[in-house]
Every structure is written in C-alpha cells, then in structure tokens.
C-alpha cells in the first residue's frame, strides 16, 4: 500500500503536469484556420488563371497547326507556289481563282484548307495566304516569300467574357526543286 505522503506527492505531480500542459487555444486555432483559408483562396485564384492560359494555349496551338498545314501544302507543291497567292477564307470567291485544270493540287489544297479553317469553330476566323509574285534576290534561285496568317477573336476568360483579336503568322521562303 502507498503511504499518504506518496499518494499526495503523486497527486501533486499530476496537478503540476496538467497545469504546465501545452495545447492550442481558441485564438491560435482561429489564426491557423485564417492562414489556411487565405492559402486555399490563393490556390483557387491560381487555378482560374491557369485554366485561362491553358485555353489561350490550346487556341494558339490549333491555329498554328492550321497555318502550318497550309504552309506544308505549299512547300509540297512549291513549283506552283504562286497559284496559292490570294487565298482568303472569308472571301466568298475563295479558291475560284485557282484553275482546276492546270492547278488541280492547289485548288484541292485551297478547298480542303478552307473547310478546315471554317470547321475550327473559332469566332470570326480568317485564313490568308500571300505569295510574292516576283522572285526574291537572287532571282536565279526562283525563291518566293510565302506568308500564311490565321486571325480570330480569342476568348479572354470564357465564352461570355471579353474577346480579343488573336493571330498567327508563318513566313517561309520557298524555292522549286
């Protein structure tokens, strides 16, 4: 059995341990919750910004692919590059100036590219091709400067928010084989 003195010493040790016990107060808990909520709000704001930039990057990638597609078509048919000059997907007479008898490949390329550009579903999209009619120096190389441009109204945030004009332009010097 324990003596009375040992029992009171044990009770005294327990009360001293409880009095010196460290823990969270209500104020500390509220401060921690506030810091956590500010951090979560900042993360949600960054998520919104990341989604907007992801949408912009997606639009830009698709437009660049469209422009690159036409540039590759012209490069493949580079002997007849000048026949691609003046392509404008917003012009109702687009592709009609290309002679299907002598330039069947250029006419087909124009019609296909026109449908791809219009099928992209971008707002107010326009694709143009400009090929220099005169050779660039030195003329003996028969090189032409080719410019393919895609322009559209890109979204800033979402479908119902502010729109801004966007464009992609690719330039290349093309020479026949």
Predicted confidence (pLDDT) per residue in 108-138, tens digit: 999 999 999 999 888 889 999 999 988 888 8
Q: Which of 173, 177, 176 is nearest to 71 (CA)?
A: 173
Q: Is residue 124 part of a domain?
A: yes
Q: Is residue 17 part of a domain?
A: no
Measure the CA–CA gap between 135 and 141, rounded to whole angstroms. 8
Q: Indicate whether 155 pLDDT > 80.
A: no
Note whether 126 and 88 are within 8 A (CB): yes
Q: Is residue 15 part of a domain?
A: no
Instruction: Using a pLDDT cut of 70, give the percent of the chain over it.
Output: 84
Domain hosting residue 38, numbered range:
25-174
Higher-pLDDT residue of 140 and 120 is 120
| Domains held by the chain: number | 1
Contacts 24+ apart (CB under 8 A), 112-116: 113/66, 113/69, 113/70, 113/73, 113/87, 113/89, 114/87, 114/89, 116/66, 116/69
Q: Is residue 20 part of a domain?
A: no
Q: Is residue 3 part of a domain?
A: no
Q: Is residue 81 part of a domain?
A: yes
Average pLDDT on 3-16 reads: 55
Q: Indicate whether 70 pLDDT > 60.
A: yes
Q: Indicate whether 2 pLDDT > 90.
A: no
pTM of the model: 0.70
Q: Is residue 80 part of a domain?
A: yes
Q: Is residue 14 part of a domain?
A: no
């Amino acid at each position: 059995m324990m003596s009375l003195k040992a029992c009171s010493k044990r009770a005294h040790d327990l009360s001293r341990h409880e009095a010196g016990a460290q823990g969270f107060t209500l104020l500390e808990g509220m401060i921690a919750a506030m810091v956590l909520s500010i951090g979560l709000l900042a993360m949600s704001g960054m998520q919104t910004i990341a989604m907007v930039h992801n949408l912009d990057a997606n639009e830009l990638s698709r437009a660049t692919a469209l422009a690159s597609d036409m540039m590759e078509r012209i490069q493949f048919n580079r002997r007849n590059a000048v026949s691609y000059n003046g392509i404008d997907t917003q012009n109702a007479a687009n592709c009609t100036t290309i002679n299907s008898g002598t330039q069947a490949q250029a006419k087909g390329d124009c019609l296909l590219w026109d449908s791809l550009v219009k099928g992209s579903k971008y707002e107010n999209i326009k694709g143009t091709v400009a090929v220099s009619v005169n050779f660039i120096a030195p003329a003996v190389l028969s090189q032409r400067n080719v410019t393919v441009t895609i322009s559209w109204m890109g979204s800033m945030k979402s479908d119902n928010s502010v729109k801004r004009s966007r464009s992609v332009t690719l330039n290349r010097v093309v020479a026949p084989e």
